[in-house]
Amino acid sequence: MRAPTDETRFGVRLTPRGGLDRVDGVADGTLRARVAAPAVDGAANQALLRLLADELGVSRGSVRLVSGPTARTKVVAVDGVEPAALAARWPGLRV
């Protein structure tokens, strides 16, 4: 079982069918990301989790969706990454 301090949570605004899979930056404390996958059967969510795992250099299992599976704005939890590291990578991100 994970201790609550082992994870870092942050908000993501996702744009499905946005062309390339990429992080567009931070706006209003929320990470902006786009993925090529459509918002059908969770494909865009899975693409988002893969993108974030790649960006942060962690395993795909370390990144999970906490809330917002059908909404554009989601909350993501990442295990093994300190809040300060996320804030340094994406300045302005609310963690």
Per residue in 5-64, pLDDT tens?
589 999 999 999 999 999 999 999 999 999 999 999 999 999 999 999 999 999 999 999
| Cβ proximity of 16 and 38 under 8 Å | yes
Residue 4 has pLDDT above 60, yes or no: no
Instruction: Identify the CATH number of the domain in which residue 11 sits.
Output: 3.30.1200.10
How far apart are alpha carbons 26 and 88 in whole angstroms?
12
Closest CA relative to residue 23, chosen from 71, 55, 69, 68:
55
User: Is 80 within the bounds of a domain?
Assistant: yes
Residue 1 scores a pLDDT above 60:
no
Is position 94 within any domain?
Answer: no
**How many domains does the chain divide into?**
1
Name 22's bridge partners.
Answer: 34
Q: Say if CB 72 and CB 89 are below 8 A apart.
A: no
Q: Is residue 95 part of a domain?
A: no
Q: What is the dihedral of CA 67, 68, 74, 78, to 10 degrees?
A: 30
Does the model's pTM come out above 0.85? yes
Asked if residue 13 is part of any domain, the answer here is yes
For residue 55, what are the domain limits? 4-88
